[in-house]
Chain A
Amino acid sequence: MSEPMLKVEGLAKRFGGIVATDNLSLDVAPGELHAIIGPNGAGKTTLIAQLSGQLRADFGRIRFAGDDITALPPHKRSLLGLARSFQITSLFLDLSVLDNVALAVQAHAGHSFRFWRNARKDEALRAPARAALERAGLAGRADGPAASLSHGEHRQLELAMALAGEPRMLLLDEPMAGLGPEESARMVSMLRALKGELTILLVEHDMEAVFALADRITVLVYGRVIASGTPDDIRADAKVREAYLGESDKEGAHV
C-alpha cells in the first residue's frame, strides 16, 4: 500500500475527566472514502476538530500527505490541502453565496494584502467560485445572500466552499445532518461524484449513506476505535453490533 494521505497515531484529548479521544490511530489511503461512525458522544466532531486544527490534541501525531501537521494552526492545514466542512452550518451569512465561495478561492490564491482592485470583479476569483457552485449544484443561487438559502442549500454551499480551495482531502462533518430524503439523496450522489478524485473522511449518522459510499469504515465508541474495515466487515462485527445495540437499549431505558 502507498503512503496514507492521512496518518493519525496515538491521538488523545481530554476535557477534564472526560476522555474525548483515547489513543486513536487511523490511516486513510489516497482516494479513499473513509467513514467514521459511532454513537452520540463518541468523539467524532472532536476528532475532526483536532484533524483540522481548531483543537490541539494532548498526545499523538497527525501526518498529512507526508507532512507532520500536529502543531500547525488551522489556516496552514487548509493551505496544505486539508479542507473541512462544518456540522453546524458555518457560513458568511451576510455575504452573497458567490462571495462565500470566492473567499474560499481567494484563501488559496496567495496573500490578500491587495488593497485597490475590486475583488468582486476579479475573474481569477469569480470563475473558480462559480465552477465550485456548479459542482455543488448551486449555480442558480449565486447572487442571493447566503442567509436566504434553505438548510439543504447551506449544506451544499458548505461543500462548495470546501471544494473551492482545490483540496487534496475533505473532512466532512455530518454533511447530511438535518436533510430531507430528497436532499440526502442529492448529497450522496454529489459525494459519489467526488469519490476517487479526492480523499474523503466522512463523519455521518446516516447509516444508509455511509454503507453506500464508504470504502472503509471506522467505528468510534468513547473516543476509541473498536473496529475498522470494509462495510461488510463492519456489518458482521460482533463488537459493533453490541456497541450499537447496547446504546439503543440505554436510550430506550430513558424513554
Chain B
Amino acid sequence: MKPALTFRHLVIAALLVGLTLLPLYVALTGDRFMLTLFTRIVILAMAAVSLNLILGYGGMMSFGHAAYLGLGGYTTAILSFEGVHGGFVQWPAALAVSALFALVVGALSLRTRGVYFIMITLAFAQMAYYLASGMARYGGDDGLSLETRSTFGDLMDLSNKTTFYYVCLVLLFASILLVWRLTNSRFGMVLQGVRSNETRMSAIGYPAFRYRLTGFVIAGTLCGLAGALIANHTDFVSPSMMFWTRSGDLIVMVVLGGMGTLFGPVFGALALLFLEQFLPHFISFVVRPINPAGAAKAGEYWQLVLGPLLLVIVLFARGGIDGLLAMLSDKLGRKVRP
C-alpha cells in the first residue's frame, strides 16, 4: 500500500493553500500584477481541467478546445453589448451556447478517429474563429469590449478584483470536484474503458459513442464557463482567443501537467503561464552580463527556450509534472521507510 500522505499530496495541498491565500500576499505587498496573473492562471486552469476530462480520461485529442473559451466569452460580451448585464442570464447562456456547439461538433467528429478527429475539431474551432472575425456589429477582427462586468445584484461585485479572483477560484475548485466525481462514477469508468479499448467496450455491451459524446459536451460546457470568466477578466473578447494556437496552449497545459490526473492541468496552467511571463526576464537577466546591449532583444526569443524545455519534460517525465511528483514521492517514501 502507498503511504496515506505522500510528497505529492503535500505539494497539491500547498498549491491549493497558496492559491487561496494569494490575495493576502497581494494585500501585504501591494503587488496587483500578481493578482491579475493568477486570475488568468486560475481561469485557464479551469479550461485545462475541462479539456483533461476528454483528453486525459477519455482519450479524445480535441484540437479545438479554445473555441469554447471564445464562445463563452462572446456570448457574455454580446449580451452585455445588447444591454443584458445580468450574470444570471449571461453565464447560463454561455454554458448553453458552448453545450450546443459541443453537441454538434461531437456528434460529427466522434464518428472519426485519430488524425481525422483532430482535424475536424480543429476545423470547427477555426470556423468559430472566422465567424467571430466576420461579425461586424460585434467588432469583427478588432474584438469587442465589455462595458461592465457581469452583474449579480447585491450578491457580489465582480469589478472588485479580489472578489473576482475568489469567484474564479471557487469555480476552479468546483470543476476539479466535478471531474473527480465524474471520473470515479460509472460514467467515468465507461469513459476510461473506451480510452483503453473501445472494441472491447462494445463487445461487452456499451454503446461507446453516446458516452463519448456526453463527455465531450460536459467538457465543452465547462470550458464555456471559463470563457465567460475570461471575458470578465480582460473586459474584452476577440477572435484571437479562439485561434488554433490557443487550443494548442490548452493541450500543452494538460500534457505538461499530467494527462488523466486530477490536479495535473492546474500544475500545467501554472507552469506554462509562469514560464510565458517570466522566461523573457530570466533570459535577459542571464544574457545581460555577456552582452548588455542585446539583453532585451534576447528576451524576445523566450519561446526558443520554452520549446526544448517542454520537449524535455514530455520525453523524460511521461506523466508530466504530476508524474514527476509521484516519482519523487516514491523515492522519498522509500528513504523514510527502509
Q: Shortest distance in angstroms between A149's beta carbon and chain B's nearest beta carbon?
A: 15
Known: A112-B187, A112-B189, A115-B185. A83 touches B200 (CB 8 A): no
> Residue B184 contacts which of A74, A112, A119, A161 (CB distance < 8 angstroms)?
A119
A91 lies within 8 A of B190 (CB): no
Query: Given the complex, which residues of B lie within 8 Å of A115, measured CB to CB?
Result: 181-182, 185, 187-188
User: Which chain B positions have C-beta within 8 A of A99?
Assistant: 189
Task: Determine whether A95 belongs to the interface, using a CB cutoff of 8 Å to chain B.
Answer: yes
Q: Is the CB of B214 within 8 A of A75?
A: no
Contact residues of B between 38 and 74, Cβ < 8 Å to A? none
- Closest Cβ of chain B: how far from A87's Cβ, in Å? 12
CB–CB B202/A73 < 8 A: yes
Given the known inter-chain contacts A90-B199, A92-B197, please indicate yes or no for A75 contacting B184, CB distance below 8 A.
no
Distance of A136 from chain B, by nearest CB (Å): 15
Residues of B within 8 A of A90 (CB): 197, 199-200, 203
CA distance A92 to B201 in the complex (A): 9
Given contacts A78-B204, A92-B193, A112-B211, contact A106 B199 (CB under 8 A): no
Q: Which residue of B lies closest to A79 (CB)?
A: B205
- Assess the B203–A84 pair: CB atoms within 8 A: yes
Partner of B199, one of A54, A73, A118: A54
Q: Which of B191-249 contact A (CB under 8 A)?
A: 192-193, 196-197, 199-208, 211, 214
Chain B residue contacts of A112, Cβ below 8 A: 186-187, 189-190, 206, 211
In the assembled complex, which residues on chain B have CB atoms less than 8 Å from the CB atom of A165? 204-205
Contacting pair A119 B189 (CB below 8 A): yes
The CA of A106 and the CA of B202, in the complex, are separated in Å by: 13
B-side interface mostly: helix
Chain B residues near A95: list those with CB within 8 A.
192-193, 196
Q: How far is the CA of A117 from the CA of B189 in the complex (A)?
A: 11
**Nearest residue in B to A125 (C-beta to C-beta)?**
B186
Is A107 engaged at the interface, CB distance under 8 Å to the other chain?
A: yes
Given known contacts A112-B211, A113-B214, is B204 in contact with A104 (CB within 8 Å)?
yes
Does A117 contact B199, Cβ atoms closer than 8 Å? no
Closest Cβ neighbor of A122 among chain B residues? B186
Q: Is the CB of A83 within 8 A of B204?
A: yes
Q: By the criterion CB–CB under 8 Å, are A54 and B185 in contact? A: no
Contact among A54, A92, A108, A118 with B205 in the assembled complex (CB-CB below 8 Å): A108
- When A and B form their complex, which 4 residue pairs have the shortest distance between CB atoms, in order from nearest? A107-B205, A78-B205, A92-B196, A114-B186
Other than the given A54-B203, A91-B197, A92-B196, 20 more pairs (CB < 8 A) read: A54-B199, A75-B204, A75-B208, A83-B204, A90-B203, A91-B200, A93-B196, A94-B196, A95-B193, A103-B189, A103-B190, A103-B201, A103-B204, A104-B204, A108-B205, A112-B186, A117-B186, A119-B184, A119-B185, A164-B204
